[in-house]
Amino acid sequence: MLRALFCHWFFRVLTAVALISCSGVSQAIPTFEKVKADYQPSDSWLLARDGQVLQQVRVNHQLRRLQWVAIEDVSPALLQALLLSEDKRFYEHSGVDWRALAATSWRNVWSKRTRGASTLTMQLTRLLEAEQGAHKLVSAKRNVFEKSSQIASALVLDRAWRKDQILEAYLNLVSFRGELQGISAMSAGLFQKAPAALNMQEAAIAAVLIRAPNADLQAIRQRACKLYLQLQPDERGCGDMEGVIQLKLRPPFQITMVNHAPHLAQQLIHQAGQRVRTSVDFPLQQFANQQLNANLLQLEYQNAQDGAVLVLDNHTGEVLAWVGSSGKLSMSSEVDGVLAKRQAGSTLKPFLYGLAIQRHVLTTASVLDDSPVRIATPGGYYIPQNYDKQFVGQVSVRHALANSLNVPAVRTLLMVGGEVFYDGLHSFGLNTLTQPADYYGYSLALGGADFRLLDLTNAYRALANQGYWQPVSLNLGGQGDAKPHQALSTQASYIVADILSDNAARYRTFGLNSVLNTPYWTAVKTGTSKDMRDNWCVGFSRHYTVGVWVGNADGSPMHDVSGVTGAAPVWRAVIDYLHQSTRGVKSVKPPLPKGVSVRKIHYQPSLEADRDELFLNGTEQSQILLNVAEKDNGFVRIVYPGEGAIIALDPEIPPKLQKVIFKSTAEVANASWRLNGKRVNDRWSPWPGKYQLDLIDQKNNVVDSVHFQVRGAYLKQVTPRPGSH
């Protein structure tokens, strides 16, 4: 009798207070759609062009919750366990289970062990308060007014939301254990499963964690086993539940993270809950990762542990793959090799020769001298050498570039000019140079400056696009309205690309069957920096440009890693993947542009085999006469002054007494000297200025030429001694 009177009184009091509160609560209850839209995961996701997850990044370290899970993607076993454990009459009541509430209140009056009777709807109202920032820690023994306010909110919520929406929001917002909040984080963190895959045993464990998230393992086992047997009355025991709990419920909880583009995510992810879609091709990104690591494993004993791969779409500028490091193989995996500045090696030579051809300084048939040379600089002599320490003598521009010979490149820089080449690199987007042109000197021709793989690959993309440069894009559709600019003429770009695609021309250095020789049209260049610290391979087809760097993030040298063994195998694997038949993409030689002519050339005397050669209109040649004077099977060259020499006048010696004596390696019959176009003797009185010195044979052919400078000095004024005249 007493219990019935109490329940009647308690029900009337709570109802009255709740009805009073309802009028002010209805406006505070958010819609289901708003709650779902405002939900903020602790992680963010980088997406590929097809929507697949490339990278998962944790941004909020205060709690751990993942993507919102729809109710239809939740295991039926968990829904059954949740309702049995927390709210048996969920589908019967209107947000408040009055019968359970009254019974629990009577029990709490006479028992020291109090227990709540909150429905899932009532619990959700408190979770929503927390989401809105209004939730405060309150005592478990709430007074009648606090309880009535919660009841009022539950009543309003039950009328405003459907039952499935209440369940869905509750499961996404409730805490399970430790930092794990929401069913997605709980399933991944405890069971390494999707929420839809939880079995009955796991569902029982998850359900009891809601009531006591941080209970000890023994208490969880007892409660979960009891719930499991209620769910599965035919079972005689709980199976290996204790083992599961011991194994799964011990922190830290590891959630498997998708990890295909960590460096790209660092650039694009800035806040929790972001879902950033990129232009990256998911299968290609995976393949490039695998190929880079596979090749580095083969170089394990050659001290090569880092690398990077970048793939660009020639037409749109979209980034199709961005592999910043070798991951677990690297000691510095956090360093992004696509953005790190490294010495470019011989990869700059195509831009140098392109400028020389565009400015009519050279043609592809022009002959350059690949022989030892010492160039005087303010810091001493600069002595360039080839990769193999060998010299081939006279060689055409085509073969000099295709075989990546160093001395001809330095001679070309002298003809083009350091400032012109420096500005040309800037036009190709290679603008990370921090010092003026004079600082780099002749080494700029051999890639002695630092550049990023991102910029270098995009510069080669400009060669593929007829000399037009445009920034890259991580967005689908490319740069949109971004207008390209012409970094090199269409004609010069075509000729350079033709040289880089000529497998026969590069046979001297690479052989005829290297990985650079593709069965479809490609143009490619390798490069190695000083002491083998950096190895590059950058090349393009009609549709794609691929850049690869291999080295060590700490700058330590590799051991005997050349362009063909380091970066080139990765480049070849990726470019083959892009042009495999299943993708339906073919790469054929681009058509000859206007302004470029084809002529069959012949060297006299024979230097290289007759061939069809490309020329800018107006620079065509058919017969190339070599101006050489042969003696002892060698070429005669000017010995003094050396190429680029700087001669300083001595202020202590009267000008008339200072002489420069011109010397050559051998005497040429009836030879003469020509200085800035005028005949001079081999003993010349110097005067400040810049000069070109030519050695002329009896047929008035130029045997050799050098450029040098004479710098003046103020002569000391001689002051007569006293008594002198």
- Per-residue pLDDT averaged across 121-150, rounded? 68
- Mapped onto helix, strand or coil, the DSSP state of residue 221 is helix
Return the amino acid letter for 664: S
Query: Are the C-beta atoms of residues 610 and 332 closer than 8 Å to each other?
Result: no
Write the Ramachandran bin of 49: left for phi over 0, alpha for psi from -120 to 50, otherwise beta. Answer: alpha
Question: Checking DSSP bridges between strand 367-370 and strand 375-377, what pairing results, if any?
Answer: unpaired
How far is it, in rounded angstroms, from Cα 95 to Cα 154? Answer: 5
Q: How many residues does the chain have?
A: 725
DSSP codes joined into one string, 151-177: HHHHHHHHHHS-HHHHHHHHHHH-EEE
Measured CA angle at 444 (ends 441, 446), to 5 deg: 125
At 342, phi and psi to the nearest 5? -135, 160
- Per-residue pLDDT averaged across 12-20, rounded? 49
Tokens representing 396 are: 């055409």
What pLDDT, on a 0 to 100 scale, did the predictor assign at position 382? 56
Query: Are the C-beta atoms of residues 261 and 322 closer than 8 Å to each other?
Result: yes
Question: pLDDT class for 148, splitting at 50, 70, 90?
Answer: confident
pTM of the model: 0.79
Burial of 721 (0-12, 13-18, 19+ CB in 10 A): exposed
How far is it, in rounded angstroms, from Cα 708 to Cα 444? Answer: 19
Q: Considering only 1-10, 48-57, 480-489, 543-552, which range has the smallest mean pLDDT?
A: 1-10
* Helix %, strand %, coil % of the chain (to 5): 40, 20, 45
- Mapped onto helix, strand or coil, the DSSP state of residue 84 is helix
Average pLDDT, the chain: 85
- Mapped onto helix, strand or coil, the DSSP state of residue 399 is helix
**pLDDT digit string (tens) for 711-722?**
875 444 444 333
Question: pLDDT class for 149, splitting at 50, 70, 90?
Answer: confident
Decide if pLDDT at 100 tops 80. Answer: no
SS in 3 state form for 630-693? EECCEECCEEECCCCEEEECCCCCCHHHCCEECEECCCCCCCEEEECCEEECCEECCCCEEEEE
Dihedral angle computed from the Cα positions of residues 149, 150, 156 and 158, in that order, rounded to the nearest 10 degrees = -160
Q: What is the largest CA-CA distance in the chain?
A: 146
- Per-residue pLDDT averaged across 154-164, rounded? 94
Residues forming beta bridges with residue 625, ordered by sequence position: 604
How far is it, in rounded angstroms, from Cα 700 to Cα 670? Answer: 10
Question: pLDDT class for 650, splitting at 50, 70, 90?
Answer: confident
Determine what percent of the chain is predicted with pLDDT higher than 70: 84
**pLDDT digit string (tens) for 392-403?**
788 999 999 999
**More confidently predicted of 605 and 286:** 286
What pLDDT, on a 0 to 100 scale, did the predictor assign at position 604? 87
Highest mean pLDDT (candidates 121-130, 282-291, 692-701):
282-291
- Provide the H-helix boundaries in 397-478: 397-402, 406-416, 418-427, 437-440, 453-464
What pLDDT, on a 0 to 100 scale, did the predictor assign at position 142? 52
How far is it, in rounded angstroms, from Cα 400 to Cα 505? Answer: 9
Tokens representing 720 are: 């007569």
Decide if pLDDT at 696 tops 90. Answer: no
- Per-residue pLDDT averaged across 656-664, rounded? 83
- ω into residue 641 within 30 of 0, thus cis? yes
How far is it, in rounded angstroms, from Cα 254 to Cα 279? Answer: 30
**More confidently predicted of 68 and 434:** 68
Query: Are the C-beta atoms of residues 78 and 194 closer than 8 Å to each other?
Result: no
How far is it, in rounded angstroms, from Cα 638 to Cα 647? Answer: 16
The CATH architecture annotation of domain 289-583 reads 3-Layer(aba) Sandwich (3.40)
Tokens representing 715 are: 């002569």
What pLDDT, on a 0 to 100 scale, did the predictor assign at position 25? 57
How far is it, in rounded angstroms, from Cα 156 to Cα 680? Answer: 106
- Mapped onto helix, strand or coil, the DSSP state of residue 615 is strand
Q: Considering only 69-78, 170-179, 480-489, 538-547, which range has the smallest mean pLDDT?
A: 480-489
What pLDDT, on a 0 to 100 scale, did the predictor assign at position 352? 97
- Per-residue pLDDT averaged across 37-60, rounded? 94
What pLDDT, on a 0 to 100 scale, did the predictor assign at position 484? 92
Question: pLDDT class for 139, splitting at 50, 70, 90?
Answer: very low
Residues forming beta bridges with residue 395, ordered by sequence position: 368
How far is it, in rounded angstroms, from Cα 415 to Cα 629? Answer: 23
What pLDDT, on a 0 to 100 scale, did the predictor assign at position 718? 40
**pLDDT digit string (tens) for 337-376?**
999 999 999 999 999 999 999 999 999 999 998 877 665 5
Residues forming beta bridges with residue 55, ordered by sequence position: 46, 259
- 41-74 as b/e, with b when 16 or more CB fall inside 10 Å? bbbbbbbbbeebbbbbbeebeeebbbbbbebeeb
Domain segments of the chain: what residues?
A: 2-30+68-248, 40-64+258-278, 289-583, 630-711
Decide if pLDDT at 445 tops 70. Answer: yes
Decide if pLDDT at 655 tops 70. Answer: yes
What pLDDT, on a 0 to 100 scale, did the predictor assign at position 707? 86
Kindly give, in sequence order, each residue whose CB lies less than 8 Å from that of residue 510, ignoring residues fewer than 6 positions away: 403, 516, 564
How far is it, in rounded angstroms, from Cα 468 to Cα 488? Answer: 7
How far is it, in rounded angstroms, from Cα 170 to Cα 90? Answer: 13
Closest CA to 603 of 393, 402, 420: 393
Query: Are the C-beta atoms of residues 625 and 605 closer than 8 Å to each other?
Result: no
CATH topology of domain 2-30+68-248: Penicillin binding protein transpeptidase fold (1.10.3810)
- Provide the H-helix boundaries in 337-442: 349-358, 397-402, 406-416, 418-427, 437-440
Query: Are the C-beta atoms of residues 338 and 452 closer than 8 Å to each other?
Result: yes
Pick the CATH number of 630-711 from 2.170.130.10, 1.10.3720.10, 2.60.40.420, 2.60.40.10: 2.60.40.10
Burial of 39 (0-12, 13-18, 19+ CB in 10 A): middle
**pLDDT digit string (tens) for 561-572?**
877 889 999 999
How far is it, in rounded angstroms, from Cα 391 to Cα 92? Answer: 92
DSSP codes joined into one string, 468-491: EE---BSSTTTTTTPPPEESS-HH
Q: Considering only 114-118, 306-310, 575-579, which range has the smallest mean pLDDT?
A: 114-118
What pLDDT, on a 0 to 100 scale, did the predictor assign at position 109? 46
Question: pLDDT class for 448, splitting at 50, 70, 90?
Answer: confident
Q: How many beta carbons lie within 10 A of that of residue 328, not counting itself?
A: 7
Give the end-to-end CA distance of the chain in Å, rounded to a whole number.
146
What pLDDT, on a 0 to 100 scale, did the predictor assign at position 457? 98
DSSP codes joined into one string, 534-549: EEEEEEE-SSEEEEEE
Decide if pLDDT at 89 tops 70. Answer: yes
Closest CA to 87 of 199, 207, 7, 249: 207
Tokens representing 474 are: 């991580």
